[in-house]
Structure 1
């Protein structure tokens, strides 16, 4: 191939300058600055599929249609989810308030009462007022004259009975000439002598017969006294019961009228009526706790220490307003960023008491599931799955449609606790989980219940079409964000540059990025530079300044690589010709900066049977995809040059001066070029770098990071000196991905740098060597003479001959 033919080949495959970057035309916008745009409601841009899925998932009311929102960070998925849910929530009714009340039949099982939104506070206040009224009425009644008169009547009745029994006993004793004397220390009996108690001397003076007679009479009297005491005990028990009954009847008469208004107010709520009835019965049964304490009663004080003070006992007549929806105007929406078990399901708090922890229904605290019940709960998948018990118990709640409050750590507690099992609350909620594709796929594969509970997948895309409609929406986005954050207005030229940057983010001339987080960074920073320049409007220069400053803040690693290449520490040639040596292109970077660097790839070929040896694979520095690419090279060479017999080839390929693991197949075409160069012994132009993968037929396949790779090699060539012959070969499919920076485009325009597009390995080898590929055999099955493929086949023939000679000279053993 002569120079003219070579230049013609390069010209055919040279990418036109017009295709190196597809810029947005600022003249398509009718506004001068974003201040001229009317303000529109916030909307999602370029996510029609996600919008439809979101609307469907939020609208379906059947169980199991919870949502899992997937997509990369920065696409606005969280903001859009919140906005969508809040819009839907405004159309829904406000859910009921929830109250926990004392269970008078089973105190360890508090009851839940549902009331219309806003009624919970009223119910709580009415019950508080009722308690105050009961105390007032009780104390007033039991200190009143009617109560005292009734009490005296009962006491007098039973005192008369007691007196009658004692009179009968005393009469019995008198008939036997004995006297009964009752003292605080006990009951004494003694004989009488002439109507007076017999003294000791008189008793001793009696005959033994009379003494024995007195002892018999005394035993008779003691028996009578015991009978009397027994009967009086029965009377006292009857008195106690009569007094308690009287006091209960008095209490009932005093307070039952207080419950009538409540019964009337809640006549349609059966559960409230049951509670009120139980409340009345319990208040009557325990009337004493409504009365003032008697400090002198030590037994009562001991009981207080065991069952609680009267104040603590009165606590059961209160209401725990568990969920208060009074201030809501629609269904609740809660975005919980810390979904621990307690934050989700609530908790039961405790108080210390005599070496243990006690609790009651007033210590039950709600979680976000209770607060969002009847509405929507938004969670982050990462945070949810990091919390013990949270995921499994959330599933159980959704499956049973009930919220149970438990203490999952109770069996691990160091101290004994008194446990409650509150009545579960019916659950009617829409859960929206936001997470990555990885977590969605993980849950899908590992949890069989996942798809039963989260039937709607809302998928956010990272790209959208670059058309007039989306470009206009991008302009509205810039306006809304600028006004929201207090930024300067943006000129239409700045908006056009923002759209160009959006295309650069997705490496697609006909697409725009939906990762608005990256775009907002540019908006904020460009506004900063415009203000610093005392400008009133952000224009395209400030966008360029912001992007340049972003790059400068994070390009220290790429600068270090370039410096090492310039100094020769990392050996990369950008001029001259070498056999078996080529510049491949790789992408490296950190989380916030990606850049391309050239890497010298070399190959040695010689007679043998080991095939192509990938030095990176042998040293465990290459990944599976890279290993696959190496196997494809063997397949191509075998299919092209050795269809009838095996190739007696040994070859080694390596990435020189690489000390990190290598993966990917974007250098497979580069490795094939360097093999063909070594086999044909034709030199490769070191000023041309190559990227692209290859298949078994030699067809070039597209790769990623094409802009960074081209720019990286350009900057190396610039630092080492541009010759006008340097450039990069890329797959033709990657032309649509080109969004190169202005400096590279300017160099291409001046002819200082070149970019070629190819579709087959033969096209690339011609550009690299200036020698015809000759990859098409003639009618005799031969490649055209003096071509790359002919030289390779000639080399293989020599290898066959050398292998045969070696085999012939090897003695049989």
Structure 2
């Protein structure tokens, strides 16, 4: 290889960060950067969405994980929430008209807790005051007076009936079945035997008198149920008057304490009325519970303790909140999101009441902001649909999914819905955002704001000093020892490598933080007061070492010639392609032999990988492009009469991507021209139908993969890699690769076209068509075109011979 061939200098292979360009000694000298770098677009979207109060302007934050999405979102939302008022408390109360439809009530922040506490105290006062009111001499005397009056009325009726009966020689007898009349003589009741001996006329006279007196007595006794009802009503009125007096003062005191809340005033009046009307039943429930007739825990609080129906179920308490809430729900199940109505088992049945209503994250975030992980939300049954219903209706309506599916058959509640004023922020990967945008027609109506986090930022725009200040803040938060200038420079170089672009810096702060921690650990082990570049590089080497087993095994199989890859010599139709493997966060490159074979055919290029279903669609596309290139360049004056096959040798897994299409084309051109390709070189890059070599991904890993094989076998100065010229800006190679290039023991060639590449690989000019339309003699393109012409002539000759043999005219 001649020195005139273009290749990159060592300075072009890695954009170092000069420690001397940093104007500090250690990160302890820097003012930590507040906020984040390189995410201006996302920050603008989040701020706009948080400030926009119209319906539907909820936010979906998407971008690669590790970019600080959660931290940034929480910080911005808390900043915004700090300027917004504290939302109301919310309570659920018993609905005395319909206990299965509890009432929701909003209260100023802090007043919900005060109401619940005051109501508990009121209930305790009432429970003690009512029995005491019934246990007074005045109450007993009044009750006794009513009972005595009722007895006197009964007695007067019986005495009047007795007096009239005596006038007719009769007396009244009390029997088990009621009252009866019997004849008397000389003060004694006439026995049946004696009565039967009386003259018939006398017997009839007595029977008639008994019948008349019976009717009169019956008419009088018919008034007694009415008198008894009047008695009970009088007793009830006395009881209610006593109860009203007993509870009046405690309730009035509580009403005075909440005089500024009309809804509380109204509810207290309803409680007063209910107590007056139902206190005897409530006391009976308590007596049954105390005697063991009702077992605590068998039913709801309502059933075990009748007075609990007056309690307050505080579901949102903002009494200790200084501003609008910011809530992150890590487990967004249906119940955790919108709340739930719990049940308890009682004699084999599930029962509930308003006190068993439990709040969800939407209740806690009402009036503020709710942050959810999109992936977790979508994987929870019913949660996504429930969230959409709530956002559409702008109210939180508690529903049990099992009821709609008829999975449970219980008596449940239908609590009054609570108005919703919450901004929902979903955080997830870009593919989830675009999937929802495409598959769910309601998504863009409810989530109008998209905040897109970048995985990297421009190195020049961010600036080294700003990135160093960002690192200083991360070091302080992680409680690490300071990094000196060389350590910061090494981290910046690593961030550039992670970005895969020499002009950018990675914004994957999680991976950068991990590197800082691991470098700090190594520095602590060495008892170094500051973290230096050597510690950072040792940490990087450790990360690679821990994940590098598969790469070592693959390269070992090449070094032992189990997998055939040549790094010296020449071969026709054979080239070293480069592939990259991604295993989690670790990526590495591996060379692969690509071969091509050609023969007389009908112009079809066979992709063996595709034929056996190992080639992905992008790889198949790249192979089809080769046919387009050959047809455009060489098929203008003659039909392409070749057959060709391309294969990745010793490839036992799937192949996808078009980064090997240029290597496949080089192998194909070599086979057609019958020119050997230097096996000391490897190739990567895709190609279009015009023969332009295009950029690919993983260029650093691919170069290093081939370099490692060459280094293991011994660097000769002839080895190197052809890369697309467009990928030069992405180079951030390891220092050992850079040093090898600096010492002219390894070379990297930027290639913009297939013609440039084939010249480097074969040492033969590619050739361009002259004024006569022909390629120069001996050029690669001339050799390929001549071979294709021979194929075409042979095909024509074969066709003519075949036609002559059958008596048909020859054809091309």
User: TM-score over 0.5 for the alignment?
Assistant: yes
What secondary structure does 1:109 align onto?
coil
- Which residue of 2 is the match for residue 739 of structure 1? 732
Residue 752, structure 1, aligned to residue 745, structure 2? yes
Single out whichever of 684-693 and 270-279 deviates more from structure 2.
270-279
- Which residue of 2 is the match for residue 284 of structure 1? 276
In structure 2, how many angstroms separate the alpha carbons of the residues matched to 1:532 and 1:705?
34
In structure 2, how many angstroms separate the alpha carbons of the residues matched to 1:755 and 1:246?
106
Deviations 1:139-171 (A, max 9, x none): 232222332333233333333322222222222
Deviation at 1:415, TM superposition (A): 6.4
In structure 1, how many angstroms separate the alpha carbons of the residues matched to 2:299 and 2:69?
56
For residue 205 of structure 1, the aligned residue among 167, 188, 197 is 197
Deviations 1:221-256 (A, max 9, x none): 333333233211221011112221232233223323
Alignment CA distance shift 1:685-1:83 (3 Å): same
| Mapped contact 1:599–1:656 kept (Cα < 8 A) | yes
For residue 634 of structure 1, the aligned residue among 627, 637, 640 is 627
Deviation at 1:211, TM superposition (A): 3.1
Deviation at 1:696, TM superposition (A): 1.0
- Which residue of 2 is the match for residue 70 of structure 1? 62
The within-5 A match list for 1:289-688 is 289=281, 291=283, 312-410=305-403, 416-467=409-460, 469-688=462-681
- Which residue of 2 is the match for residue 19 of structure 1? 12
Deviation at 1:416, TM superposition (A): 4.2
In structure 2, how many angstroms separate the alpha carbons of the residues matched to 1:605 and 1:425?
75
Residue 175, structure 1, aligned to residue 167, structure 2? yes
User: What TM-score, normalized to structure 2?
Assistant: 0.95
| Mapped contact 1:139–1:290 kept (Cα < 8 A) | no
Single out whichever of 672-681 and 311-320 deviates more from structure 2.
311-320
Alignment CA distance shift 1:272-1:631 (3 Å): same
| Mapped contact 2:299–2:345 kept (Cα < 8 A) | no
In structure 2, how many angstroms separate the alpha carbons of the residues matched to 1:262 and 1:571?
91
| Mapped contact 2:94–2:309 kept (Cα < 8 A) | yes
Single out whichever of 14-23 and 155-164 deviates more from structure 2.
155-164
Misfit runs of 4+, over 6 Å: 292-302, 304-310
In structure 1, how many angstroms separate the alpha carbons of the residues matched to 2:193 and 2:794?
154
Alignment CA distance shift 1:692-1:81 (3 Å): same
Single out whichever of 711-720 and 353-362 deviates more from structure 2.
353-362
In structure 2, how many angstroms separate the alpha carbons of the residues matched to 1:460 and 1:247?
71
Q: Report the aligned-residue RMSD.
A: 2.4
| Mapped contact 2:300–2:344 kept (Cα < 8 A) | no
| Mapped contact 1:700–1:759 kept (Cα < 8 A) | yes
User: What TM-score, normalized to structure 1?
Assistant: 0.95
In structure 2, how many angstroms separate the alpha carbons of the residues matched to 1:255 and 1:468?
74
Unaligned runs of 5+ in 2: 808-812
For residue 7 of structure 1, the aligned residue among 3, 15, 20 is 3
The within-5 A match list for 1:127-142 is 127-142=119-134
Single out whichever of 133-142 and 62-71 deviates more from structure 2.
133-142
In structure 1, how many angstroms separate the alpha carbons of the residues matched to 2:487 and 2:277?
81
- Which residue of 1 is the match for residue 106 of structure 2? 114
Alignment CA distance shift 1:166-1:311 (3 Å): farther
In structure 2, how many angstroms separate the alpha carbons of the residues matched to 1:556 and 1:39?
38
Single out whichever of 146-155 and 706-715 deviates more from structure 2.
146-155
What secondary structure does 1:409 align onto?
helix
In structure 1, how many angstroms separate the alpha carbons of the residues matched to 2:288 and 2:707?
99
Deviations 1:773-809 (A, max 9, x none): 11x1111111111110111111112112211111121
- Which residue of 1 is the match for residue 208 of structure 2? 216
What secondary structure does 1:286 align onto?
helix
- Which residue of 2 is the match for residue 705 of structure 1? 698
Deviation at 1:698, TM superposition (A): 0.7
Single out whichever of 464-473 and 376-385 deviates more from structure 2.
464-473
Alignment CA distance shift 1:294-1:99 (3 Å): closer
What secondary structure does 2:659 align onto?
coil
| Mapped contact 2:300–2:353 kept (Cα < 8 A) | no
For residue 237 of structure 1, the aligned residue among 218, 229, 232 is 229
What secondary structure does 1:598 align onto?
strand
Single out whichever of 267-276 and 178-187 deviates more from structure 2.
178-187
In structure 1, how many angstroms separate the alpha carbons of the residues matched to 2:554 and 2:301?
76
What secondary structure does 2:3 align onto?
helix
Deviations 1:62-115 (A, max 9, x none): 221111000011111111111211222222111111111111111111111111
Alignment CA distance shift 1:327-1:299 (3 Å): closer
The within-5 A match list for 1:63-102 is 63-102=55-94
Q: Aligned residues, how many?
A: 804
| Mapped contact 2:610–2:620 kept (Cα < 8 A) | yes
| Mapped contact 1:165–1:232 kept (Cα < 8 A) | no
Deviations 1:675-710 (A, max 9, x none): 111111111000000111111111111111000000
Deviation at 1:183, TM superposition (A): 6.0
In structure 2, how many angstroms separate the alpha carbons of the residues matched to 1:23 and 1:225?
121
In structure 1, how many angstroms separate the alpha carbons of the residues matched to 2:289 and 2:175?
23
| Mapped contact 1:609–1:648 kept (Cα < 8 A) | yes
Single out whichever of 270-279 and 727-736 deviates more from structure 2.
270-279
In structure 1, how many angstroms separate the alpha carbons of the residues matched to 2:521 and 2:190?
120
What secondary structure does 1:467 align onto?
helix
| Mapped contact 1:692–1:701 kept (Cα < 8 A) | yes
| Mapped contact 1:95–1:116 kept (Cα < 8 A) | yes
| Mapped contact 2:302–2:308 kept (Cα < 8 A) | no
Alignment CA distance shift 1:416-1:695 (3 Å): closer
Deviation at 1:37, TM superposition (A): 1.9
In structure 2, how many angstroms separate the alpha carbons of the residues matched to 1:299 and 1:541?
79
| Mapped contact 1:45–1:470 kept (Cα < 8 A) | no
In structure 1, how many angstroms separate the alpha carbons of the residues matched to 2:752 and 2:533?
36
Alignment CA distance shift 1:63-1:179 (3 Å): same
What secondary structure does 1:594 align onto?
strand
Deviation at 1:414, TM superposition (A): 7.0
| Mapped contact 1:730–1:757 kept (Cα < 8 A) | yes
In structure 2, how many angstroms separate the alpha carbons of the residues matched to 1:228 and 1:299?
43
In structure 2, how many angstroms separate the alpha carbons of the residues matched to 1:408 and 1:677?
67
Deviation at 1:593, TM superposition (A): 1.8
Deviation at 1:480, TM superposition (A): 2.2
Deviations 1:725-751 (A, max 9, x none): 110011111111000001111111111
Alignment CA distance shift 1:561-1:418 (3 Å): same
Residue 273, structure 1, aligned to residue 265, structure 2? yes
Alignment CA distance shift 1:310-1:418 (3 Å): closer
Deviations 1:480-504 (A, max 9, x none): 2222222221111110110000010
| Mapped contact 1:723–1:752 kept (Cα < 8 A) | yes
| Mapped contact 1:138–1:291 kept (Cα < 8 A) | no
What secondary structure does 2:682 align onto?
strand
Deviation at 1:398, TM superposition (A): 0.8
Single out whichever of 323-332 and 351-360 deviates more from structure 2.
351-360
| Mapped contact 1:356–1:415 kept (Cα < 8 A) | no
Deviation at 1:457, TM superposition (A): 0.6
What secondary structure does 2:118 align onto?
helix
Alignment CA distance shift 1:411-1:802 (3 Å): closer
- Which residue of 2 is the match for residue 55 of structure 1? 47
- Which residue of 2 is the match for residue 250 of structure 1? 242
| Mapped contact 1:138–1:290 kept (Cα < 8 A) | no
